Amino acid sequence: MDRERIKMRVVKDRGFEVMVILLSLFSMVPLVLILFYILRNGFSAISWEFLTELPRPVGEEGGGIANAIVGSFLLVFVASLPAIPIGITAGVYLSENQKGKLPYLLRLAVEVLQGTPSIVIGIIAYLWLVIAMGGFSAVSGGIALGIMMLPVIVRTTEETLRLIPDTLKEASLALGVPYYRTIVKVVIPAGLSGITTGILISVARIAGETAPLLFTAFGNPFMNVNIIKPVNALPLLIYNYATSPYPEWHRIAWGASCILVGLVLLLNLVARIIVGRWKVQF
């Protein structure tokens, strides 16, 4: 009788294992499908010309998306400029001060900010920056994206630095090193891989954001590198071209999607490599 029971248990155990593996594999299906469709429709659109030329008017064959690629990089740059230093500083502060009123408020604010819909951030940027500056611009789009980067950077910085043993900080302080130098020269370098990964992940997150750019960066059919003028971006271009009635533009939208997904994948890969390579052993 006991043997029968054990047999049943083994069968149940196996069944459960198979189910878990199947369901896990199922979570990969959407990504595989997305990649498959984008590659199938978009890969043929990509050429040297596609990457280096400007869009052509409706009806003309060819043309490229150089303005959107440059615009996306410009927006990421403008977004990173305030978001990285502020995010790292806030993350350091939170990891150093776990208790207290201000850390509590800060943590709450970061969580709420992370949950704020991107379209709302776009509207706020529109009200505060676009109206104040009298027009759409790369700066307003960059700031909207920067606000979206902040919570990711703050949290990854805090989590990374929390894992660094206190004994390391004590080693530095016991040598008579002032607190701020200990943070800058010992704690942050020890957590550099985690912090860098956080930055890359946050860039990957904003690279595909469309909503905050609709009323800030706005889009621009021409090449522009002036940060107080409207600028195009890959997700904006995809949005505009995919909703147009022209098959040629649809093809370009697929191509642009392909490049955008490729960039995001690349960022994630680089982040993974950094985590592995720069690993600090305590």
Partner 1 sequence: MESTVLRAVDLSAYFGDNCVVRNVNLAIYENIVTTIMGPSGCGKTTLVRCFNRMHELVPDTKVEGKVFLREEDIYAINPMVIRRRIGMVFQRPNPFPTMTIYNNVIAGFKLNGLNLSRTQSEMIVEESLRKAALWDEVKDHLRRKGTFLSGGQQQRLCIARALSMNPDILLLDEPTSALDPQATAHIEKLMTELKSGVTVVLVTHNIAQAARVSDFTAFMYLGELVEFGRTEQLHTAPKDRRTEEFLTGKFG
Would you tell me which residues interact with partner 1 (CB under 8 A)?
165, 167-168, 170-178, 181-182, 185-186, 189-190, 192, 280-282
Q: Considering the complex, what minimum distance in angstroms separates the CB of residue 97 from partner 1?
A: 9
Give min distance, CB of 192 to partner 1, in A: 8
Nearest distance in Å: CB 169, partner 1: 9
Sign of the C-alpha dihedral computed for residues 43, 48, 50 and 51 taken in this order: positive
| Closest alpha carbon to 91 in 230, 188, 214 | 188
Minimum distance from CB of 160 to partner 1 (Å)?
Answer: 13
Q: How far is the CB of 282 from partner 1 (least distance, A)?
A: 5
By C-beta, is 179 or 222 nearer to partner 1? 179
Q: How far is the CB of 179 from partner 1 (least distance, A)?
A: 9
Smaller CB separation from partner 1, 48 or 180: 180
CA 242/CA 208 separation, integer angstroms:
15
CB closer to partner 1 out of 26 and 282: 282
Residues 6+ apart with CB under 8 A from 122: 144, 211, 212, 213, 214, 215, 216
In this complex, which beta carbon is closest to partner 1, that of residue 28 or of residue 175?
175
Q: CA–CA distance from 155 to each of 116, 117, 207, 269 (Å)? A: 15, 18, 19, 20
Helices 138-162 & 192-207 angle (0-180, nearest 10):
150
Nearer to partner 1, 117 or 178 (CB): 178
Residue 187 or 203: the one with the smaller Cβ distance to partner 1 is 187
**Cα–Cα distance measured from residue 199 to residue 79, given in angstroms and rounded to the nearest whole number:** 11
Using DSSP's 3-state secondary structure scheme, residue 48 falls into: helix
- Cα separation, 149 vs 86, in Å, equals 10
